[in-house]
Chain A
Amino acid sequence: MTRFNDAFVDIEDFQPPKKWQARFSNLLVWLMVALLLTGGWLFRDWMMNQFGNLVLIEGEPTISYPAKWKPQPVAEQLFQVIEPESTAAFAPNQQVAVLPMPDEPFDLFWPEQRPTQLVDYHERSRLLTSIADGRRALLMTYSFIPQENEATRPVRAVAQDLVFELHEGEHTRMVVVTIRATEADWERIGPLAQNIWRHMGVVLP
């Protein structure tokens, strides 16, 4: 195949661009960068609006949750939101519980306490980490069979607990943030949970 250049050569093309051409090309690059960064700014804004923030105590770490999930009153929990679009019997949800501080360190207490509350509990991973302000936190991943699902066919659910201390004056309490979904949903909810933890400043591996 004959290339275009082999058939006809314009020698004008083989010399440095005129000053205005060079300046115009440079200006276009600047405009493109401005455009891309504006896009980045808008994307950041949009992403930041994807999460709601639950403030437990002024000055203490806020708890992020998906902004589109609906709050639902639950007696045992301080706060619960569920995914409204879900048609599953066990809808993906996020719970926040504020519990009295145990005598022993929470990272030892909670892994012993949690299995007693759930049916067929299996721990998958445990990570001692920290949240945004550097305070210690425990991130546990486990599976269980939800009790809410007893009437229908039993399904296994996967959950992650983020446990950390909450300081209220002289009192210290233990906060447990739980994100739960069925195993089928976890493929989708797992990355979202990671986002929520990242949003809260949890240091993840």
Chain B
Amino acid sequence: MSLNVSEPAVRSGDLRRVAQGRRSFWATLLIMAAMLGLLGTAAWMNWLDPLEAQIPQRFQLAARIALALAPALLSLILFALLTRKNDMVSRIVFLLWLVTGALYLVTVRPVANWLFPLESWMTALWWSNLLVHFLITATLEMFLVYLVLRFGVYPGGALQTVTDGPIYGAAAALGLATTLSLQPLLAGEISSISDFALWIGTLAMGYTAVGAMLGYFMAQARFKRMHLFYLVAGFLFSTLLHTLFFVLYQAISAQMAQLPGLGGLIFAFVFALMSFLFIYWRLWLSRKDFMRIAALVEIKEEAARPRSLLEDVIHLVETQQIDVRPSPPLPPVQPASTTAAVGEIADLENSWATLIQEQEASHDQV
């Protein structure tokens, strides 16, 4: 392996910092998936409707809103607990979730309704759905996530590691998912809480996956000098993934006519699992690369460093980086006694000679 620069422009410490992983993210994802799985099971077993029936009528809407917020809020709280050492990340994650959800309501939704009133011309044909999702819905939604990340975390010091990209992307997309799940509820289009729970789970899993994918590409483009088209290719890939998620979700729901919601949720789990496995694999490779480069840079740094501590100290004294005072005076140097040393050496020689003679005598006797 060769390193093609004599003096590295980056420091090994920075590279090692960028390569750091965040286990809390993966742990949060697993727990979130487990929570949504439980919610889906409860909906499938029809446990939620009897539970809701016990709630007074006037509180039922509040209960449904709480249910819509629960997956995202619980995940964010869990993530914050797991990343207590780094409060900044958990705060940013919460802000991204909130801001993206709110921005969707005031930007994407009105623009989509004004420029592309989908309800008036969108059809049930699969190819039409595919094109509408790819060209309009997915593009607008992924662009919102992109803008939030680009202006929110990309320029500053919020992006500390390559893993932060997927974390922030997932948080922003989860904000979208929460708003999208609340919309039909507030419009009164939700009849059964079981269907609603399945819908919440599907959206949360799907959006988290596509958001994390976009975040991954953005983090790579932030920490590495990728090809100029890398970021736009990443955006396009994420948009395509978003489109595929919804088109396949609709197709699978239509196929599983008896259990459309459950089929959709299972598909969302598989989709999220595949996406996150891909992201994990790419992050692992990226981190490995960063660590390898960090090791190489460290060798260069070591080579450029003075060889001994004394040289360092002399350098510091010469450059007046440390304050050296002549007092207290050094103790006078006592010269070593030559005659005494000669006497000791003569004693040692006599002892050796005596020992050798004794040993030779014992050999002769044998």
Contact = CB atoms under 8 A, between A and B. Distances in A.
Interface in A22-64: 22, 24-26, 28-29, 31-33, 36-37, 39-41, 43-44, 47-48
Interface of A: 5-18, 21-22, 24-26, 28-29, 31-33, 36-37, 39-41, 43-44, 47-48, 191, 194-195, 198-199, 201
Contact of A191 (B3, B124, B146): B124
B125 to A, nearest CB: 5
Given A14-B10, A14-B290, A47-B123, A28 B222 contact: no
A39 B1 CA distance: 47
Interface string B124-144: 110010011011100110010
B64 interface: no
Nearest to B137: A40
A9 B293 contact: yes
A33 B143 contact: yes
Nearest to A48: B121
Contacts of A32: 232, 235-236
Contacts of A25: 221, 228-232
Task: Determine which residue in A7, A44, A48 has the highest number of CB atoms from chain B within 10 A of its CB, and name it.
Answer: A44
A44 B117 CA distance: 9
Task: Determine which residue in A12, A40, A41, A194 has the highest number of CB atoms from chain B within 10 A of its CB, and name it.
Answer: A40
Nearest to A33: B143
B15 interface: yes
Given A29-B235, A36-B134, A14 B139 contact: no
Contact of A17 (B120, B140, B225): B225
B4 A9 contact: yes
A32 B146 CA distance: 12
Contact of B293 (A11, A43, A198, A201): A11
B9 interface: yes
Nearest to A197: B124
B121 A47 contact: yes
Given A32-B232, A40-B136, A201-B120, A11 B1 contact: no
Interface string B1-15: 111110011100001
A120 B116 CA distance: 44
B4 A194 contact: no
Contact of B139 (A13, A36, A48): A36
9 contacts: A5-B289, A9-B293, A17-B224, A25-B228, A31-B232, A37-B115, A39-B135, A40-B136, A201-B120
